[in-house]
Amino acid sequence: MADVLILPETQERSTRFEALIPQLRALVGAEPDPVANMANVAAVLKEAFGWHWVGFYRVVGEELVLGPFQGPLACTRITFGKGVCGTAWKEDRTVLVPDVDRFPGHIACSALSRSEIVVPIHDGTDRVVAVLDIDSVVLADFTDQDRKHLEEIGTLLDKLFA
């Protein structure tokens, strides 16, 4: 498998996402296992954008359980509706948090996180089966463009959980 081409940081983040997404589509399309794909997507996003923490939590019963990730040690279990991740799962929507200190119930796995975005991942019947969670050390790091691109990456994974 060829390396993923990552555009330099001098390019707009949006341009860098646009170069990355077709490569992720090809990567994910070549491998049917969702865990293998979550692992590579987390690795590529971490390498490309350098965020503090990039990873997945999987829905297991009434909880989210830590899945493949890149970054420091993280909480292993999150209850339905709790924290940013549990809220994204319960409300089935992307939750973009510009300032984690202003999000009631935010679960601080790392004291360094300042902003966060969580995107739900679905199966073939539209149930939430996992979330993609990204933490940044930069306040208000995530934009609506990032949301759009990360949701697109989320949909690449959706069909693997059929």
Give the pair of three-digit tokens for residue 1. Answer: 């498998």
Using CB under 6 A, which residues numbered 119 to 138 contact ligand SME? 133, 135
On whether the CB atoms of residues 64 and 124 are closer than 8 A, the answer is no
Q: Does 141 bind ligand SME (CB under 6 A)?
A: no
On whether the CB atoms of residues 83 and 120 are closer than 8 A, the answer is no
Using CB under 6 A, which residues numbered 18 to 37 contact ligand SME? none
Site size for ligand SME, by CB under 6 A?
Answer: 15
**Closest separation between CB of residue 110 and ligand SME, Å?**
7
CB neighbour list of residue 55: distance below 8 Å, 6 or more residues apart: 38, 42, 66, 67, 68, 69, 70, 71, 74, 132, 133
Q: Does 75 bind ligand SME (CB under 6 A)?
A: yes
Q: Does 96 bind ligand SME (CB under 6 A)?
A: no
- Please select the residue that binds ligand SME; options are 21, 74, 80, 137, rule is CB under 6 A: 74
Whichever of 17 and 69 has its CB closer to ligand SME, that residue is: 69
**Which region among 5-13, 32-40, 77-85, 153-161 touches ligand SME (by CB under 6 A)?**
77-85
**Which region among 26-34, 72-80, 137-145, 146-154 touches ligand SME (by CB under 6 A)?**
72-80
Dihedral sign for Cα atoms in the order 111, 116, 121, 127 = positive
**What CA–CA distance (Å, rounded) separates 104 from 70?**
25
- Please select the residue that binds ligand SME; options are 46, 94, 116, 121, rule is CB under 6 A: 116
Whichever of 35 and 74 has its CB closer to ligand SME, that residue is: 74
**What CA–CA distance (Å, rounded) separates 158 from 116?**
21
Beta strands in the chain (DSSP E): 53-60, 63-70, 77-79, 95-97, 115-122, 128-136
